[in-house]
Chain A
Amino acid sequence: MIKTLTRRGLLQASTVAAALALGLTACGGGGNAAPQQTVNSDAVEAALQKGGKLTVWAWDQSLKKVAEGFEAKYPNVDVNLVNAGTGNDQYTALQNAMSAGSGVPDVAQIEYYALPQFALSKSLAELGQFGAANLDGTFTAGPWSSVQAQGGVYGLPMDSGPMALFYNKQLFDKHGIAVPTTWDEFLEAGRALKKADPKAYIANDTGDAGFTTSLIWQAGGKPYQVDGTNVGVNFSDEGSTKFAETWQKLIGEDLLAPISSWSDEWYKGLGNGTIATLSTGAWMPGNLVSGVADGAGKWRVAPLPQWEKGANSSAENGGSSLAIPAASSQAALAYGFLKYSNVEEGVQARIDGGAFPATSKDLASEKFQNTEFKYFGGQKANQIFAESAKNVPAGWSYLPFQVYANSIFNDTAGQAYVSGTKLKDGLAAWQKASVKYGTEQGFTVKE
């Protein structure tokens, strides 16, 4: 029996070790870039005329219409639109496919915060070779800087999320509370609202990495410094401190509803007046219309509250790009699709589908600016969003391992929302864990 046991133990140990080793390769690999070919825009046009089958991994629903239009314009191209999962699920699948070297799509939807990770590992085709660098000025500043890394362009911005304050006007009016224009007023409004209606909260927040980094961005903070594989993580700068102090008060005074965004409870709270405001990206209206039918007519949009009175600063929240995996054998054709979707006709198709564009021209267009939102009582909300898009501070960057960093937010900084930990200490813990992981992954990380 002892013999069997040892053999069994050995066997188990070796199998587990093998599994781990392979698993690690799967996570860390993907560095085999396809041979760089120099293709110019003529080659893209030629590829479009010649045609072929393009596999596109994207979860954005409005791309269906875009793909139809694209196929109609270029009849030889067949677009295979695949929803390979949303957000993280898709990145895992993409990483796996890249490691395995097969089943890699020709085009993939990648959110801005995740793009540096794929760009740095050379898993994506650099688009300058197709003339993407000439697109400077086509997109608003925030998204355009988000698709650049290492001095190259690694995706074309599909949509953007300049932030604004969505608020339940009916609720504010009922209690005679003014719509906040600064975060200090926001705090005051939260206190007043709680006093007037103990069941209502000024906002919901259970700890959200994307939201936290967006507000620090707005406050002028630059916690992440990225220069190739040299990375700095520091949450003690002025912007981060401003955010931590204000949010600490909101958490400490129980002014934030303990409801996670996107849950059914959240949809419910937005409809029944439990959650009074949402500070989020300009892509939100579509979700309100379909998910919070009860709120129609009650909700309005206002500029994002400011950190300094009279200031004019915003940030991006969410938004994604389309990128071309380096392993795709049809990069030129894929670039044709990217251009059609994100620069040419596809943009309008997506706007019609309720998406918020990243192209300056469309944001400035009369038609776009004058669109009246029935949901917001006929308000021309796009004017607020477009203004916000102009006011996003430059120079922000995400970590080249932001997907991982965001995944551990709730174990570190997020603890402040559920236990007695101070948000400041939580951010420090997040910083420490991020630095540790980055170092393990071979980055030179300094705090």
Chain B
Amino acid sequence: MSVQTAARPSSAGAGTPAPLKFRTPRLRSPRTPGSRRSRRSLALTLLMGLVLLYSLAPLFWLLVNATKTQDGLLNSFGLWFDGDFALWDNIARTATYDGGIFLRWFANTVLYVVLGAGGATFLAVLGGYALAKFDFPGRKAVFAVVIGAVAIPGTALAVPTFLMFSQMGLTNTPWAVIIPSLISPFGLYLMWTFAAEAIPTEIMESARIDGASEARTFFQVCLPLLAPGIVTVLLFTMVATWNNYFLPLIMLKNPDWYPLTLGLNAWNAQAGTAGGEAIFNLVITGSLLTILPLIAAFLLLQRYWQSGLSAGSVKE
């Protein structure tokens, strides 16, 4: 709304008092029919608060319980702190337990996300741009394939993929996780529609007339326009790759290549085997450490995402 108020006076010429006076009531008017509306918003606020509580409670639980020792975890109330504050100790033990394998899992996950999600986004951007802006035979077939692929859950493809990769000798290597992650049908579809909307064909034409090569047109003219869409796809693929469980479970047998999801599950399963040590406190602390990068990514990237949404709204 601030964009609108800032934009209007300049288009209406110098800031004459008349339009301002005219505009003030218009801005306020939604609030004045008053009581009915505010009651509704109170209900909405309450609902919103409930939803917020519902989504934050598990996070709160995780945070609280990451500060407890294994004993404290079992002997204290779940939603509040225990006497001992063992968070730092837990973090240190999580990082060093079993020869510091947690850090290795962390690095693996980062590797899979950078190469997998990064690659998937890159391919989706290239593909989406090409499909939106170039006409070629078979475009509709590609559309059918992409839509079909969106509908097939990755889990259903995991076993066939395993058999195929096994033939190629790729199982039990990081490639077995990275290569399937490179394909994001939903990301491609999203980029496709976004590119169709966000890049005016006229801009591309004028770039070409100015003598820019296709690559330069794409990288220097179109790519910046696609930034909000790219961020959206990046967030989606990042979350998907970061949380990927089933594919690595099937593909990887060497704990040295496990991502965090598999590693933490292995630690958790340890409590249920004969002679295994129960380390719930480390599993919980590990889980907390696992979600921190995702939260950071969301906080850092969401402004680009938001600007993208509003950028669309002020467009002529």
CA–CA, A287 and B278, complex, Å: 8
Chain B residue contacts of A89, Cβ below 8 A? 249, 269
How far in angstroms is the closest Cβ of chain A from B305? 30
Which of the 9-residue segments A3-11, A412-420, A432-440 touches chain B? A3-11
Task: From the candidates B144, B253, B277, name the one contacting A8 in the complex (CB within 8 A).
Answer: B144
- Establish whether residues B75 and A271, one from each chain, have CB atoms under 8 Å apart when the complex forms: yes
Asked if B280 is at the interface (CB within 8 A of a chain A CB), the reply is yes
Query: Are A82 and B167 also in contact (CB < 8 A) when A19-B160, A23-B160, A93-B250 are?
Result: no
How far in angstroms is the closest Cβ of chain A from B306? 34
- Establish whether residues A16 and B169, one from each chain, have CB atoms under 8 Å apart when the complex forms: no
- Total residues of chain B contacting the partner, CB 8 A: 42
- Establish whether residues A283 and B74, one from each chain, have CB atoms under 8 Å apart when the complex forms: no
Asked if A57 is at the interface (CB within 8 A of a chain B CB), the reply is yes
- Total residues of chain A contacting the partner, CB 8 A: 58
Chain A residue contacts of B276, Cβ below 8 A? 59, 61, 287, 290
CA–CA, A148 and B159, complex, Å: 31
Task: From the candidates B75, B143, B156, B277, name the one contacting A4 in the complex (CB within 8 A).
Answer: B143
Chain A's closest residue to B149 (CB) is A15
Chain B residue contacts of A16, Cβ below 8 A? 152, 156
Chain B 220-254 near chain A by CB (<8 Å), digits 1 or 0 = 00000000000000000000000000000110011
Within 8 A of B (CB), among A78-128: 82-87, 89, 92-93, 96-97, 99-103, 105
Asked if A62 is at the interface (CB within 8 A of a chain B CB), the reply is yes
Asked if A371 is at the interface (CB within 8 A of a chain B CB), the reply is no
Chain B 114-151 near chain A by CB (<8 Å), digits 1 or 0 = 00000000000000000000000000110111011001
Which of the 9-residue segments A170-178, A184-192, A244-252, A260-268 touches chain B? A260-268
Interchain Cβ contacts under 8 Å between A and B, 23 examples: A4-B143, A7-B141, A8-B147, A11-B148, A15-B152, A26-B159, A26-B162, A61-B276, A82-B254, A86-B273, A92-B250, A93-B249, A96-B159, A99-B163, A100-B162, A100-B163, A103-B172, A264-B280, A271-B75, A272-B75, A287-B274, A291-B277, A294-B74
Residues of B at the A interface (CB closer than 8 Å) are 70-71, 73-75, 140-141, 143-145, 147-148, 151-152, 156-157, 159-160, 162-163, 166-167, 169, 171-172, 249-250, 253-255, 266, 269-278, 280
Residues of A at the B interface (CB closer than 8 Å) are 4, 7-8, 11-12, 15-16, 18-19, 22-23, 25-26, 57, 59-62, 82-87, 89, 92-93, 96-97, 99-103, 105, 159, 161, 261-262, 264, 267-268, 271-272, 281, 283-284, 286-287, 290-291, 293-294, 318, 353-356
